[in-house]
Amino acid sequence: MKIDKKQHVLYLTPYYDSKRGNATTAKRMKEHLQQTGITVRVFAYEEQTDSIEPYIDEADIVHALHVRRTAEWLNENGIEITKPFVLTTGGTDINIDVNDYNKKRQMDVLLKKADALTVFTEDGKTRVLHDFPFLEEKTYVIPQAVKQPALTKGSSPVPLPEGYPAVLLPAGLRPVKDVLFILEQLRELTLIFPRLQFILIGEALDDEVHKEVRAASAQIPWFTYLPPVESEEMHHLYRWADVVLNTSVSEGQPISLLEGMAEHVPALARNNAGNRSVVQHGYNGYLFHSTSDFIKQFQKLFASKNAYNKFCEQAYIYVKTHHHPKEEALRYKRLYEAIR
């Protein structure tokens, strides 16, 4: 049966109103799926207190973001999904949660009930099938998209220091993000770039990491820590930046790097599978495999103004070509058609 314009999708996400990546993804998916003629209702189960049952009853498809969180929430509330069911896994659940026996067991039970699982990268698919081989025929690779930036007016919601290069790291403050990994190397680079400015922006998700960040930013004049802003306001920071960093130990597919590229900002990212899925080394940015290599790649990126400008243009071309939200929405629409 083909999907018609009255098709109803219930989209489950941990967050929708918060300033987290899950919320950004859910808002983008809702907007662009609706543009294909699908009716989308979002249920943010960490934020909403009303019953989900009426939402399930009216849905033709249920699509949930983040396997482990969804599994825990459904179990805790005794909820069964009775409609065709799609799950999307990002980074934490397939890179970290599978190493916890109880979390993996919960995920296993839920995944066996799913009609389809989507992952962002081929590496993600390989990881999933290693731990859940029964998903061989039900796993699909659909890269994450990023909204194309709009021409907006108004001032930044946060003060942005003047300097060059302007280095931006958008990341939640938790151990896997390793946000202070290259702090000493940035200190060394200030000897070459005395006007360098570094902004770390993200939600404080781990108390210890938050304390370390606050202590460091209080002592270092070129290091600014900012709490998160609304996703719609992040464009101010990307337009401020000369490079967007990702220092994560492991990564699903980094939306912040894609958002930066959409604003013509190249990436400098730690060499892991998720970052490799979006950073083409020497084309739209550079990958680094150690702290010393970070310095080397940083200097290469800013060695020549002409070369840097080429990186900026290539970053934009890459994201526009490979991570367009219309293509993402159409691929999900075809998947919904296949399982309904």
Place of tokens 């108004």: 154
Please give the Cα distance from 43 to 22 (Å, whole number): 12
The H-assigned helical ranges of the chain are 21-35, 53-58, 67-77, 92-95, 101-113, 122-131, 183-189, 207-219, 234-240, 255-262, 273-276, 291-301, 305-322, 325-339
Q: What is the pLDDT of residue 292?
A: 97
**Structural domains in the chain?**
8-145+324-339 (3.40.50.2000), 166-322 (3.40.50.2000)
**What φ, ψ does residue 43 adopt, rounded to 5°?**
-125, 110
Please give the Cα distance from 157 to 192 (Å, whole number): 30
Q: What is the pLDDT of residue 140?
A: 97
pTM metric for this prediction: 0.88
Q: What is the pLDDT of residue 3?
A: 45
Q: What is the pLDDT of residue 1?
A: 41
Place of tokens 């103004």: 305
* Average pLDDT for runs of 10 along the chain of length 340: 68 86 87 95 93 95 96 95 94 84 94 97 92 96 86 79 98 96 98 98 96 98 96 92 97 92 98 95 98 98 97 97 94 95
